[in-house]
Chains A and B, each alone.
Chain A
Amino acid sequence: MTTLRFPLSRIEGHARVEMEVQDGKVVSAQFQAIEMRGFRYFMLGTPAEQMPVIVPRICGVCSTAHHVASVKALEDIFEVEPPKLAKEIRELLLLGQLIQNQATSLFIFTMPDRVGASSIFHMDESEADPEQQLSLAQRALKVRQAGTNLITLAGGQFIHPIKAIIGGVTSGIKPEPAQKMLAEMEALLPVVCTLFDEYWEMSLKMKERIGTWGDDQPAYYIASTGRTGLELNSDMIRILGPNGTERASFPPRQFRTYLDYQDTEYSYAGQTSYQGEVMRANSLARINLANATGTPLADEYMQKLTHAFGKPAHPILLFDLCRGIELVYAFERAIEMLSQDLEYEDPSLPYALKDGEGFGLVEAPRGPLIHHYTVKEGLITDAEFIIPTTHNMLAIERALKVAGDRYVTPEGINLELEKAVGRVVRAFDPCIACATQ
């Protein structure tokens, strides 16, 4: 038995892949999360009202999703429904997060694989024309920056947002900064589309080079977005079967009825399944579960994808193309929202502390995120974080096995395997800081 260990880079957090090989065959492929801080333990005893400021520190990449999920869980316990304006500001916040995240995943994590560079900051070392690569990198970073700027505008702070509060948000958005943001996004929307077109082309070329789109076996899909739009702030989770029929729809309170969770000895992150079946979360799940995105340009791209790959589509490298569709959607939707009045009412309602158990759901860039708290006398007595990346763990390992089987033969191990492992993992864009907390 030989153990192959692959360190990973260009993903969020610390993880590695281990494959056991015997007689030229891959016996097992493990995706190991190798860090943990222990939020579910050390949050015990914390005053409940402080959770929305502390939990963004679970992850500096997904902080916005944790911030909003936390507020929603506490609102569930204290029985307060935020005003419409507050929900709109939170949606803008989540759109900013989606832009920042999908741009990071597309351009910083996976684009270097497509041009043969070690990072977006080293694009001129790639095989392609240096001038063209430099322009690509500069445009990509500008697009990503717009997401960060939107988070800052709607969330108050640029990494760990602060503006969502129990019962609403601290303030609306004034016309002047809203106009400035709007202008920035309108100017960038054509840039986003061109970048995505270029990325799409690069991906098709990569298909020829590696000869496969990866693990393209059917799977179940999980997302909390709507059927006719990519809404990020819904209250229902849905499961799609491998053949495209919806299998379940449930509120976060019932997640244990539908999802099975298990721990493993080889990772600080757990794994979930849909009643024992491998499922996938993140962009491909959302696009498979929605009939339309809800904005014109993104819908065009969605149709292009469906035309080329069918629906539901299963090859894992399509996760990246779906991220591109969502990036376009997030720009279009934010432009729509920033064009409207964002100060028309009091953005928060009063509430009173009370004991109870609550659930907060948001569609994070990586899938449905649930915060589940129990509060007694104002203090947290139980905290559970159901992280989107854990929904993808079994799917990642299945796809790694496919890659392993392809490059490991009785004649030897093809060195392309190391790159393939990186591409497989990056397709799922796992977040290890979140998955382990």
Chain B
Amino acid sequence: MSLNPTLPRFAVLQLSGCAGCEVSLINASEWVEKYQLVYMPLVVSTHAVPEDTEILLVSGGVRNDEDVWNLRHAAEIVDRVIAVGTCAISGGVANLGDRDDVRAMFMSQASRHHVPHLLPKSHPIDAFVDVDLYLPGCPPTPELFMGALTGPENFEASSIVCQECGRKKLKDMRPTHLVGFQQGEVLPDICLINQGYLCVGSSTRGGCRAICTRPGHPCVGCRGPSNAYIEKESSVWFDRVQKVFENMTDIPPEEIREALHSPQLSMFLFQFTDYQGGDRPPRPKEKVL
């Protein structure tokens, strides 16, 4: 908590998002002794990224023309750009608006004249600037933030959420249907798939320490696919989830397929490859923490 000039200087640029990533960063108080926070409008009264900033964390998606300007300008100044959270990586929850009917409503009802103008859709930040590291999560945990700041080589994690969860997989407990997304009692210590929940932790990248599945909520895949799938089309990931359910349950495959395409999963499941209509190259796994 000081202005020691020898500490590395970092800035946090908030684009259109929910500030959950920033709140998580504030929770990760260990950086306070090791880094110097020079710009983050949520907590610091400065109105521009200073010239000698080294690291730029960007949260939120690009939703309006001011986001574009702020992003381009800040990225030019710094040495290293880190895309933080699902919105910066893929547009996140705002990407659910990437539908013709919704876009028409935005343009006809939501736009305003006297304020930054909305773009027709939400964009990931690497549509505008080069990104050195992607930090997926909605939001990434404080521990992941520290990993991103200090360097991925110092961060140890399992490859998938399943390995961090610790719930037991049972051979003889095979549900025949998915239980309603929010319905039913959750048994402790037993795999959520055995209990009929649509949990995608079996191929979602680890590092979050399974904070959702341990208290009993199925993994929605907010960290994106594990390294095995990250450079492939999301259909490969979907097939993999499908296979896990075929092996562990007697739920009809169509039921799984339909559920996987529902909004609350798809806003996370598409975040690495089929973003931007699938016309961009995949992000290399070496650049993802």
Contact = CB atoms under 8 A, between A and B. Distances in A.
Interface residues of B, number: 69
A350 interface: yes
B47 A41 contact: no
B168 interface: no
Given A37-B97, A120-B43, A265-B114, A171 B215 contact: yes
A265 B220 CA distance: 38
A165 B182 contact: yes
Given A35-B64, A38-B94, A124-B3, A52 B215 contact: no
B182 A265 contact: no
A36 B263 contact: no
B171 interface: no
Contacts of B66: 34
B262 A47 contact: yes
Given A41-B102, A63-B18, A433-B19, A163 B217 contact: yes
Interface centre among B43, B109, B122 (most CB of A within 10 A): B43
B17 A32 contact: no
B264 A60 contact: no
B263 A47 contact: yes
Contacts of A42: 94, 96-97, 99, 102
A156 B211 contact: yes
A53 B220 contact: yes
A72 interface: no
Contacts of B106: 38, 41
Interface stretch (B24-32, B153-161, B276-284): B24-32
Contact of B3 (A46, A122, A165): A122
Interface residues of A, number: 77
B45 A422 contact: yes
B211 to A, nearest CB: 6
Contacts of A122: 1, 3, 44
Interface in B82-119: 92-94, 96-97, 99, 101-102, 105-106, 109-110, 112-116, 118
Contact of A121 (B32, B188, B211): B32
A356 interface: no
Given A119-B43, A119-B45, A32 B115 contact: yes
B37 interface: yes
A59 B19 contact: yes
Nearest to A118: B45
B262 A50 contact: yes
Contacts of A170: 186, 215-217
B44 A58 contact: no
Given A46-B263, A141-B29, A54 B93 contact: yes
A119 B37 contact: yes
Contacts of A138: 1
Interface SS majority for chain B: loop
A137 B19 contact: no
A348 B185 CA distance: 8
A37 B185 contact: no
A353 to B, nearest CB: 8
Given A10-B41, A58-B18, A160-B20, A35 B63 contact: yes
B108 to A, nearest CB: 10
B247 interface: no
A268 B115 contact: yes
Nearest to B98: A42
Contacts of B211: 152, 156-158
Contacts of B186: 170-171
A50 B263 contact: yes
B84 to A, nearest CB: 12
Contact of A49 (B18, B181, B215): B181
B43 A350 contact: no
B45 A57 contact: no
A396 B217 CA distance: 40
A61 interface: yes
Contact of B14 (A14, A63, A268): A14
Contacts of B184: 350
B43 A108 contact: yes
A268 B109 CA distance: 11
A171 B139 CA distance: 23
Contacts of B112: 265-268
A52 B19 CA distance: 18
Contacts of B127: none
A296 interface: no
Contact of B110 (A145, A268, A346): A268
Contacts of B42: 9-12
B259 to A, nearest CB: 9
A252 interface: no
Contacts of A337: none
B43 A10 contact: yes
Given A34-B64, A37-B94, A38-B105, 14 more contacts: A35-B116, A39-B93, A41-B97, A44-B102, A47-B264, A59-B20, A60-B23, A61-B23, A109-B43, A119-B37, A122-B44, A157-B211, A266-B112, A350-B184
